[in-house]
């Protein structure tokens, strides 16, 4: 049986410009403990859609977990801006707390 990562890798190979396939692959890589492999796919999603909050949150948290605070901060700040603009209250609270912890 093909792994979920393999399924999404096949979809990305067929349609590399599809940000939804990339996002799904990145999330699956993350859940399977392959965070570093997820980075370029989250970065693709961030670059492709300026109003997409979730890849910014996930990439920011991932980078924070890798102790790459200076790279994480602008993503998390941008995600906070989007959360406010899009009225996503739970992510807004989470991001405010995360940024406050970062100092």
pTM: 0.94
Ordered by start, the domain boundaries in the chain are 1-49, 53-103
Interatomic CA distance for residues 35 and 93, integer angstroms: 24
Decide: 87 and 51 in contact? Cβ < 8 Å: no
Say what the pLDDT of residue 18 is: 98
Q: Over the stretch 52-92, which tens digit does the pLDDT of each residue have?
A: 999 999 999 999 999 999 999 999 999 999 999 999 999 99
Report d(CA 23, CA 46) in Å as an integer.
10
pLDDT value at residue 2? 60
């Amino acid at each position: 049986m093909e792994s979920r990562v393999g399924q999404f890798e096949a979809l990305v190979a067929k349609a590399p410009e599809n940000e939804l396939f990339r996002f799904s692959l990145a999330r699956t890589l993350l859940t399977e403990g392959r965070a570093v492999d997820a980075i370029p796919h989250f970065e693709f999603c961030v670059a492709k859609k300026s109003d997409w909050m979730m890849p910014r949150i996930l990439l920011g948290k991932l980078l924070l977990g890798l102790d790459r605070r200076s790279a994480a901060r602008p993503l998390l700040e941008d995600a906070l801006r989007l959360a406010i603009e899009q009225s996503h209250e739970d992510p807004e609270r989470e991001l405010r707390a995360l940024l406050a912890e970062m100092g």
